[in-house]
Chain A
Amino acid sequence: MKKILIAIFAISLVPNVSFAGPKAEVLHWWTSGGEAKALSVLKADFAAKGGVWTDMPVAGGGGDAAMQTLKARIVAGDAPAAAQVKGPAIQEYDDQGVIKPYNIDSVAKAEGWDNLVSKQVAEHMKCNNFTEYCAAPVNIHRIDWFWANKSVLDSNGIKMPTTWKQFNAAADKLQAAGIIPFAHGGQPWQDATVFEAVALGIGGNDFYKKAFIDLNQDALSGSTMIKIFDQMRKLQGYTDAGSPGRDWNVATGMVMDGKAAFQIMGDWAKGEFSAKGLNPGKDYYCSPTPSNNGYLYNVDSFVFYNVKGDDKKEGQKLLASLIMGKNFQKVFNMYKGSIPARLDVSMDDFDDCAKKSNSDLNAASKAGGLMPSYAHGMALKGAQSGAITDVVTEHFNSSMSSKDAAKKLAAAVKASL
């Protein structure tokens, strides 16, 4: 009797090795309220199609901890099926050979992704010398937005500035009236965000490309760059003493409360306003920072590593297809504050800021002003963007002269290559 019982117990321990459907282990850092809600749309879609989603969230806004975990897994030879990686990092991983053989390319070709997203977005998603799809785009964030408190502006007789000169004049007026003109969080990535918006506006679209994509030494150390640093110095004067170390959402809170007038931040700031029940145009203004049809974009994406096991490969293909699906693209972006990467999604249900973002995207694309954001890892690899950010944040937090800053910038970029 005992033997039979032991035998039954032993058999029940043997795992049920039937094909359980597509599986996907997904590493991401979308753990805060709005982001988690947005991601749950994908989880629901995946489960509805019979997939098993193993969540691997690693909290930490910038993704530092997640990237560490990811690298550890890759070095151990056990990469997750999908991970939240964007920009040139995708191609960097490809150079290490951990994405071949591009499992999702067949899905991408079958669904005709080349026609569903803009050429620039498609380029970011491709590996193997930009020929095969290895990542799926989730959204398009715009970086260069002005967020302003309507009542503060109205009661001081200020309109949303359309040039940097107008902004400076408005800021001087506000400072005289005792209001903090520019709410800023003094963290390196925020300094970099403001810097690239200023650079796009003052330098122009071609200059941005020359300096931050081509890394041309003359552009990085020349007179235009000095003018950009001058404007950064002016912006520093418009911030308050508590700015170093402040988080971005605390700065947004200052604008919402009317303590400060303006903030330069990407469109995820919209989520803060919406969470407080504020409406664009009625309680706050959203408008692009002054530029000539420029648009700094950040495309979040999931990259699909080389995994073993048919169920995992099926999971990747299903996930890729769902990410590019119309339902996910619409609902996710409505929750997250960005706009769909897929071109044929109707914008009717989105709010005014998102609609503006979409129309600006098309206008910028036609005018040649659609630029990848360097501060958010879309234009450059980590080493170069980090070197630029070091100089920008050092200049912003000291009394370094613009000339020295420009020289340092060119030298730092050269040393990091």
Chain B
Amino acid sequence: MDWLKKNLPKIVVAPSFAVILWFVYGFIAWTFYVSLTKSKLLPNYEFWGIHQYVRLWQMPRWHIAVENLFIFTILFIVLCIFIGVILSIFLDQKIRSEGVIKTIYLYPMALSFIVTGTAWKWILNPTMGIEKFMNQIGFENFQFDWLVTPGMSIYTIVIAGVWQSSGFIMAIFLAGLRSIDDEVIKAAKVDGASTFSIYTKIVLPMMRPVFMSAIVILLHLSIKSYDLVIALTAGGPGISSDMPAVFMTKMAFGRSEVGLASASAIMMFVTVSAIIVPYLYSELRREQDVK
């Protein structure tokens, strides 16, 4: 009975743990195996070495996708956090209609990426959106055709993504700010620190764990960005705003290249791990040191 009581938490968690272990990590291992085979239309299990990876890195389209992923991820994370932090600091000043304003900023998060993508597609379209509007109200030479310019289409995806997710980051940071003890701020004010330096030197460093969660969430949103790209540019014009998730789906299901798609999925996995694992390690280590 005692044994049962002691191990009850483990027993309760065990089924979900087993399911996750199998369905997430087990299938990651399966995908890795398929990426080492010659699978075309359907998975086949004949070992073929790392040829799929060689083929993958020889495809110009994959290079474009990876480049876009880096551009999008870096801009998305930096802008979302920047805007989120600024908004949360402003909202933290105990203003009057805080609840209403917070809700307004958080609304975009309630939309699915498909809706965001479609709406921004119309807004950014040069023949019916912002450019047309500005032309109609008199700014005849105004041009904002990023959406249809191959080199700039990825930045439109950044715009739509940041619009959607900054509200969420703001909410996270606001919760973090609220959890900071007032005494610390009062002590700093007594020492004569300006509001700006209070925030930059005391408050934000205290919110390290919040930064970590924000970065992890944004990173995963960005790697996953399939529906936003499909709705906004469909990978176009041409293939200029292709992303690894779009590439993977198109290869696996549209082009009967299941082995190649698995290789690209593993590459995405490796990229994410390469960033998250050291970050996690350093953050957890810091906690250990502090303890």
Contacts and interface: CB of A to CB of B under 8 A. Distances in A.
A68 B128 CA distance: 34
B148 A241 contact: yes
Contacts, number: 99
A187 B234 contact: yes
Contacts of A242: 125-128, 148
Interface stretch (B92-100, B214-222, B253-261): B253-261
Contacts of B233: 244-245
Interface in A388-415: 390, 393-398, 408, 412, 415
Q: Name A's interface SS.
A: helix
A244 B236 contact: yes
Interface in B216-275: 233-240, 250-251, 253-257
A240 B150 CA distance: 15
Contacts of A412: 59-60
B126 to A, nearest CB: 5
A333 B256 CA distance: 29
Contact of A96 (B42, B128, B240): B42
Interface string A66-87: 0110010011000000000000
A266 interface: no
Nearest to A397: B238
Nearest to B42: A96
Q: Name B's interface SS.
A: loop
Nearest to B41: A92
A408 B240 contact: no
A341 to B, nearest CB: 24
B236 A383 contact: no
A204 interface: no
B147 interface: yes
Given A390-B61, A394-B239, A68 B253 contact: yes
A397 B150 contact: yes
Q: Find the residue from B43, B234, B251, B256 having the highest chain A CB count within 10 A.
A: B256
A64 interface: yes
A71 B252 CA distance: 10
Contact of A245 (B237, B251, B256): B237
Interface of B: 40-44, 55, 58-61, 121, 125-128, 145, 147-148, 150, 233-240, 250-251, 253-257
Given A187-B236, A245-B237, 11 more contacts: A89-B256, A96-B41, A245-B236, A382-B256, A390-B60, A393-B236, A394-B240, A396-B238, A398-B240, A412-B60, A415-B58
